[in-house]
Amino acid sequence: MDYTKQRNKMVEHQIKARGINDERLLDAFRKVERHLFIPGNPDQFAYADGPLSIGEGQTISQPYIVALMLDMLNIKPEDIVLEIGTGSGYQTAIIAEIAREVYSVERISSLAKNAKELLDKLGYSNIKIQQDDGTTGWKPENESEKDITFDAIVVSAAAPYVPEGLLAQLKDGGRLVLPCGNRYVQDLICVKKENGKIIKENFGGCQFVPLIGEQGWKK
């Protein structure tokens, strides 16, 4: 199986063809080996144009959706990014390629553990993973993280509303992207914080697994 060829095709036909042109982002998709993040390593599906099961009732998002959300965030090389819903760790790796640091929170311990092991094995040194409920944000692990805020926040599971805990950890001038709606269908929302004011923009329909936690769905 020629994975490099498949990845290049994925970028051309699924991502670029749908209007995403940020070369730094496209390069990250050309580089990160998506097949390594899918349990059972299903050759023929790893670069397909859709979500895939990663166990525990969870999914790795469609490549285009990952690209769309990260494109909306406009991540810069110096940015510190918070991701809620590590899942397989695939999106975490893409962010690690384009940002300074990624802090990622996953609720399910087996997924958090597997993602951490794989990302460590791949040599990423700018990723921190926390096993916890991410709806209230990153829980500081030491004194230097006490009042941590982020340039960009991406939520990979569907929220009933924008969690206050995440807004509190968004830097002024920062952006937060999340799917928001009911448990079955949502809209992709981009929230900007400008001079303390919150501005929301709707980018249309999507479907994600539920965000479960204190400021999400209760089970």
Catalytic sites, residue numbers: 61
Is 186 near ligand SAH (CB under 6 A)? no
Give, in order, the Cα–Cα distances in Å from 203 to each of 21, 62, 98, 168. Answer: 17, 16, 23, 23
Distance CA 136, CA 203 (A): 24
Q: In the range 100-119, which residues lie near ligand SAH by CB under 6 A?
A: 105-108, 111
Give the contacts of 80 (CB within 8 A, at least 6 positions apart). Answer: 99, 100, 101, 102, 103, 150, 151
Compare residues 34 and 175 and give the one whose CB is closer to ligand SAH. Answer: 34
Which of 14, 15, 63, 91 lies at the binding interface for ligand SAH (CB under 6 A)?
Answer: 91
Which of 7, 11, 25, 59 lies at the binding interface for ligand SAH (CB under 6 A)?
Answer: 59
Compare residues 27 and 172 and give the one whose CB is closer to ligand SAH. Answer: 27
Query: What's the closest the beta carbon of residue 165 comes to ligand SAH, in angstroms?
Result: 10
Geometric angle at alpha carbon 126, from 122 and 128, rounded to 5°: 95
Residue closest to ligand SAH, measured at CB: 87
**Cα dihedral sign for 93, 112, 214, 60?**
positive
Tokens of 122: 């791949």
The burial class, CB within 10 Å (0-12 / 13-18 / 19+), for 166 is buried
Is 61 near ligand SAH (CB under 6 A)? yes
Is 60 near ligand SAH (CB under 6 A)? yes
Q: Which among 99, 104, 29, 93 is positioned nearest to 64, based on CA atoms? A: 29
Query: What's the closest the beta carbon of residue 218 comes to ligand SAH, in angstroms?
Result: 11
Is 212 near ligand SAH (CB under 6 A)? yes
Strand partners, 130: 105
Query: What's the closest the beta carbon of residue 25 comes to ligand SAH, in angstroms?
Result: 15
Binding segment for ligand SAH among 18-26, 54-62, 175-183, 194-202 (CB under 6 A)?
54-62
Binding site for ligand SAH (CB under 6 A): 54, 58-61, 84-85, 87-88, 90-91, 105-108, 111, 133-135, 156-157, 209, 211-213, 216
